[in-house]
Structure 1
């Protein structure tokens, strides 16, 4: 069954109108904002400072508001954005989202997207009332799913080591390679919980580099959500595990010629088909492995919560290290090299905490 312009089987009430279905004025302003004004510019005009994924997210959020207006208040689409977005309409939009069962977290995201879009569509006007509405919602916010951090980082680290150690006893080279790779994925996620996209796309010689006898994970501003350079040295205790994978198990995976074979280049994580492991495949492997072994499926993103939770529970004096470890910005971390130093300090303290917990559990 076709859903027409909004895509198959999509409820029109929940659809995000694509840019081509926006009012002419909105579309013209948006397209101008993403179009270079000279050959010297990169891939965008006013929106060039936003990563493509952020541009898409903002456009979808505005498109969601357009859909609501088209169904419930179509006449106002003839107005320019600064006259169209009023306190009354935004409140009605929020009630509409609540009526469809959206969580407060989703509604807060929609309001943020609305505010971000207006910075482009009506930059000379103030829409402070959107922030006031968001503050009211935030004050009463309850997570749609509670984050029961029942599993701590040391438990996942133990699972990772176990998988890698047991891989060495396997009679099958490919089974050993897959099992070792999965263990190393868990171990690196525990010790350096990057965002899924960055982690899945780690590339030897680019984002995973070896220099002066050390391994570093290095991300450019274009690769990070905060648009800040990020670099952390791999903890010495992890190096031998990584180098065993690179020398012994990754070549086995690279030699595979499976049905979905594509040239992975220098990507770190290789699938059993010989291709680069996709973000979705990595997500599935991590959640399945943790779910089966620990009784709780932990997504790659949850490793970030787990890191902060482990520090808060077992080394609260180092909780300040969580922000740079996770790549979050703070008022004090605006200078590039300060962020780098704090990230490395935070990672070292976190890894030490995890190892002490494992030693205590095993002792």
Structure 2
């Protein structure tokens, strides 16, 4: 991610005729250049995205000239990161885990019923239900969900269905190694044995990708996001993106089992619990929102 941010700056300098290939990386940045880069890069992008790019530039420069790199740029990046406003508020889109699990089960039941009646349309419905169920139980990032491949990082053994993702394939460099929860095991086996073969195209070699989409091909990450978002919007009246499942999971732990809040580090694949708390735990806001609703309800009851 840091390399990507720095690469965008280098590309921008090159397009504007201001790139000196022989200059030390730290000598390629000035306050005026960074200001101009931010102005141009900010068009159409969320504040957090822009802050992430600037932070990437600053961190690459720290690696090139340790330990401080360009000190003023690092301070700027941290300030931008801490003050960036979310492009969309998360709280209004939050859904309780129990409701998500019910939706997942309902979709899989509908899918199986349709397949039992000979309707192929039941296969994608079942698949979407399983994706939603797996996301809320094992909220891996979208990229890692998309890259699940039978026999490679999704392995059936005597203990169950194991998911293993090496550190070089995770955003935070933290490996993931865990099992599909027992309550979902049979659903995964049903998908592999009955549903996935319906989704496959006999004219296309089966490379083992878990999620099969249109025309029997591997399902791209964007298609997974679209299907999950459309499905949750239809049933909950709000958009629940795959990434937001991580917020829901961390918040549920904080609300229902606060003594286990440390587990969110492992659940979300973070280096420390602080990351889970800072970026994903909406429990304080959710509790305040619920109390506010209770006050309004009581006032209405007293008024009537």
Task: Indicate whether the TM-score tops 0.5.
Answer: yes
Identify the TM-score tier after normalising by the shorter chain: 0.7 to 0.9
User: Alpha carbons of 1:75 and 1:287: their partners in 2 closer, same or farther (altered >3 Å)?
Assistant: closer
Superposed, 1:160-179 pairs within 5 Å as 160-170=104-114, 171-179=117-125
| Structure 1 runs not aligned, ≥5 long | 1-52, 333-363
Q: Which structure 2 residues correspond to residues 257-336 of structure 1 after superposition, within 5 A?
A: 257=202, 262-330=204-272
* Alignment-derived partner of residue 86 in structure 2: 143
RMSD: 3.0
**In structure 2, how many angstroms separate the alpha carbons of the residues matched to 1:325 and 1:100?**
34
Aligned length: 271
Which of 167, 182, 185 is the matching residue for 2:128?
182
SS in 1 for 2:246: helix
Instruction: Look up the SS of the partner of 1:96 in the other structure.
Output: helix
The 1:128–1:243 alpha-carbon spacing in structure 2 relative to 1, beyond 3 Å, is: same
Task: State the partner residue of 2:50.
Answer: 107
Q: What corresponds to 1:25 in structure 2?
A: none
Q: In structure 2, how many angstroms separate the alpha carbons of the residues matched to 1:101 and 1:204?
A: 38
Structure 2 residue matching 1:237: 3-state secondary structure: helix
Instruction: Kindly state the Cα deviation for residue 177 of structure 1 after the two structures are TM-superposed.
Output: 1.7
The answer on whether the counterparts of 2:2 and 2:57 sit within 8 Å (CA) in structure 1 is no
Partner Cα distance (1:144, 1:131) in 2: 23
1:246 matched to which residue of 2? 192
Residue in 2 that maps onto 1:26: none
TM-score (norm. length: structure 2): 0.77
Q: Quick one: structure 1 residues 114 and 282, their matched pair in 2 at CA, closer, same or farther if it must change by over 3 Å?
A: same
Partner of 2:149: 203
2: distance between equivalents of 1:157 and 1:146? 23
What TM-score, normalized by structure 1, do the two folds share? 0.66
**2:301 alignment counterpart:** none
Paired residues of 1:207 and 1:217 also in contact (CA < 8 A): yes
Q: Which residue of 2 aligns with 1:360?
A: none
- C-alpha contact (below 8 Å) 1:62/1:113 kept by paired residues: no
Query: Residues of 2 paired with 1:314 and 1:222: CA distance?
Result: 33
Change (3 A) 1:320 1:77: same
Alignment partner of 2:11 out of 63, 69, 79: 63
Distance 1:131 1:325 in 2: 30
1:31 is matched with which residue?
none
Alpha-carbon shift at residue 222 of structure 1 (Å): 2.4
1:337 counterpart residue number? none
* Equivalence for 2:103: 159
Work out the CA distance in 2 between the residues paired with 1:279 and 1:192: 17
In the alignment, structure 2 segments of 5+ residues that lack a partner are: 275-304
* 1:92 CA drift (Å): 3.0
- Select between 53-62 and 322-331 the one with higher mean Cα deviation: 53-62
CA deviation after TM superposition for structure 1 residue 124, in Å: 8.4
SS in 2 for 1:209: strand
Alpha-carbon offset, residue 301 of structure 1: 1.3
